[in-house]
A and B are shown apart, each in its own frame.
Chain A
Amino acid sequence: MLHIFCPYCGEHREEAEFRPKGQAHIARPLSPEQCSDEEWADYLFFRDNPRGIHHELWVHATGCRKFFNVTRHTVSYEILETYKMGEKPKVTAESLAKGGRS
């Protein structure tokens, strides 16, 4: 069981209260009608599948029902941080490569 810190409720809760919603920080194309089929399909269907740091969207489904972001290591499952919508991650693959915490 993961113990996840909800940045809105301000405390750790059991994984059962949350639902994962896939990759975070996917920007919707500003003018969809200008997109090629490939660009639109890329936005709709294609997701990263990294070995290591992954920024994900989760929702506190039975709690405050807010969406927020999680930085999780896909090998160790360790959650390195959670942060609110609209915020940027502090822990990234680049920041770890530069000698941040593992």
Chain B
Amino acid sequence: MSKVAVFNQCPGSEVRAESPLAHLASIKGGSSLVVTEHAFLGHLILRGQADNESLKAAVQSVIGVELPLQPLTLALNETTGASVQWLSPDEWLLILPAGQEYDVEQNLRQQISGHFSIVNVGGGQTLLRLTGSKVFDLLSKSCVYDVHERNFPVGKGVSTTFAKATAIIRRPNEQEWELVIRRSFSDYCYRWIADAGREFDLTFTV
């Protein structure tokens, strides 16, 4: 049980919240490339030693998935929609349904002992979901990382560059790709996708 003071960063429905893409317009197009922002999800960065048994047990009991220790992998809880992604040998990204991050952080803090940290990074990044037959084409013209099936199977997640901006690319299932982009780069990434996706009749919902 840690003695760190944690405060609830979710202001509740009475305060107006704005996603990093709030100032941008949705784009109407076809169904071959559909990008949808999923704003206000709970993003937590969990850091600690991979051999800390209490950390593994806490993630298992609070999130309901096994802590991914294999590099570049993603663990999904199909029921709740929560995910845990390996980012580094001692760092994981937790993406939770909106509004759960405070409770999850508290529960993890109660159960993890030893040296660890949890930081709410939800205000600093947002998640885009990409579907359609042209997602591969968009990604391969936008980043140097090899997104071909043989190098990027379902369940993989990498931190790399997208259009030269730092971004996380994930593949939670056969139909979807996810991009986690920084707030400070979100305007730029939106404009990049809007331009790069024009030839694929992009639909972008923000």
The answer on A and B forming one complex is: yes
Q: Which residues of A contact B (CB under 8 A)?
A: 8-11, 13-14, 16-17, 62-66
Q: Within 8 Å of chain A (Cβ to Cβ): is B166? A: yes
Q: Which residues of B contact A (CB under 8 A)?
A: 71-72, 87-89, 91, 144-145, 158-161, 164, 166
Contact A9 B71 (CB under 8 A): yes
Contact B145 A13 (CB under 8 A): yes
A-side contacts of B144, CB under 8 Å: 14, 16-17
Contact A63 B159 (CB under 8 A): yes
B-side contacts of A8, CB under 8 Å: 71, 88-89
Q: A10-B71, A13-B145, A14-B145 are in contact. Are A63 and B160 (CB under 8 A)?
A: yes
Contact B89 A63 (CB under 8 A): no
Contact A16 B161 (CB under 8 A): yes
A-side contacts of B159, CB under 8 Å: 62-64
| Contacting residue for A17 out of B72, B91, B161, CB 8 A | B161
Query: How many Å lie between the Cα of A17 and that of B160 in the bound state?
Result: 7
Return the 3 tightest CB-CB contacts between A and B, nearest first.
A64-B88, A14-B144, A62-B166
Q: A8-B71, A9-B72, A10-B72 are in contact. Are A64 and B164 (CB under 8 A)?
A: no
Using CB atoms, name the residue of chain A closest to B71: A10
A-side contacts of B87, CB under 8 Å: 64
Using CB atoms, name the residue of chain A closest to B151: A11
20 contacts between A and B (CB under 8 A): A8-B88, A8-B89, A10-B71, A11-B72, A14-B145, A16-B164, A17-B161, A62-B159, A62-B161, A62-B166, A63-B158, A63-B159, A64-B71, A64-B87, A64-B88, A64-B91, A65-B88, A65-B91, A66-B88, A66-B89
Min distance, Cβ B156 to any Cβ of chain A, angstroms: 10
Given contacts A13-B160, A16-B164, A62-B160, 18 further A-B contacts (CB under 8 A): A8-B89, A10-B71, A10-B72, A11-B71, A11-B72, A14-B144, A16-B144, A16-B161, A17-B160, A62-B161, A63-B159, A64-B71, A64-B88, A64-B89, A64-B91, A64-B159, A65-B91, A66-B89
Min distance, Cβ B88 to any Cβ of chain A, angstroms: 4
B-side contacts of A62, CB under 8 Å: 159-161, 166
A-side contacts of B158, CB under 8 Å: 9, 63
